[in-house]
Amino acid sequence: MKNLKIFVVSDSVGETGEQVVKAAVSQFRPDFDNTIIRRFPHIENNDHIEKIVEIAKVQDAIIVFTLVEEKKRRLLIDYCHQQNVSYIDLLGPIIELFEEKLEQKALEEAGIVHKLDEDYFKKIEAVEFAVKYDDGRDPRGLLLADVVLIGVSRTSKTPLSQYLAHKRYKVANVPLVPEINPPEELFLVNPKKCFGLVISPEKLNIIRKERLIALGLSDDASYAKKSRIEQEIANFYKIVEQIGCTVIDVTNKAVEETANDIIEKIEQNK
């Protein structure tokens, strides 16, 4: 069986080029027998390109490259022609076609797709964190969170946690109830990343009544009574004062507005 050697050249990590090469090689050699695939990532200067072509010439290798910068692509092609080395440009034709169609130049910035992937996984991680540490389920999350939300029931802690998670912030939230002491971890949290959510008793009364009706329950339960709500809010302010955290009134605010206020303060404190 004839030997096959491929050099994968990239100004990023070279993963895209290697996967394409493997897909093609597998059509001829499913077990990759007598096949060598060598990756040359993060190519930054012309000397690297010239040396790779020289090595490919000596070792009778094919060069497959994914270079986003036009000058590097043209230089590599020129060297390959001079040394009579076989090559395949994977990105160049597609980029040129898109430039023509869109009537704009490519950014020519290496590794953008991997930055997007990293950003995506950070978002997923934050969303999973928000679910795991929602509603005070595990107080250990309070010390791991980027943002900690506290408040009485129905102050939008959960939807706000999810919204912030999609902005890549790890959020834990804790409901405050007069009969239950807050977890000890809450008082160890940096006050600058802790936010208390408060709402007017009148608005909360309406929200809780609607919630009870939606659950098929009577709207005159203690949960929705003004006296109970006032007791909970008084307890809320008592705990907030102990922590020394920022209080945000969410009475007439959309989740997005509250989230933007929190993000602004978090970024200012960094």
Q: What's the CATH code of the domain at 225? A: 3.40.50
CA atoms of 105 and 213, how far apart (whole Å): 58
Q: Which of the four pLDDT bands, split at 50, 70 and 90, describes residue 111?
A: confident
CATH of the domain at 88: 3.40.50.2300
Do 189 and 92 share a structural domain? Answer: no
Phi then psi for residue 10, to 5 deg, are -150, 150
| Residue recorded with tokens 């996984």 | 121
Do 59 and 181 share a structural domain? Answer: no
Do 123 and 20 share a structural domain? Answer: no
- Residue ranges of the alpha helices (H) in the chain? 15-25, 46-59, 70-83, 92-102, 112-132, 157-165, 201-214, 226-243, 255-269
How far does Cα 126 stand from its chain's mean position?
A: 7
Binding residues for ADP: 151-158
SS3 231: helix
At 54-98, the pLDDT tens digits run 999 999 999 999 999 999 999 999 999 999 999 999 999 999 999
65 DSSP β-pair partners:
9, 89
The model's pTM is 0.63
What pLDDT is recorded for position 121?
86
At 115-143, the pLDDT tens digits run 767 778 888 999 999 999 999 999 999 99
- CB contact burial 174-196 (16+ within 10 A = b; e otherwise): bbbeeeeebbebbeebeeebbbb
CA atoms of 194 and 148, how far apart (whole Å): 5
Per-residue three-class SS string for 2-71: CCEEEEEEECCCCHHHHHHHHHHHCCCCCCCCCEEEEEECCCCCHHHHHHHHHHHHHHCCEEEEECCCHH
Binding residues: 151-158
Do 153 and 95 share a structural domain? Answer: no
Choose one of 76, 94, 110: the last residue of a domain.
110
Choose one of 93, 110, 127: the last residue of a domain.
110
Which amino acid appears at position 185 of this protein?
Answer: E
Do 241 and 167 share a structural domain? Answer: yes
Do 232 and 105 share a structural domain? Answer: no
Instruction: Identify the domain containing residue 141 by its residue range.
Output: 115-269
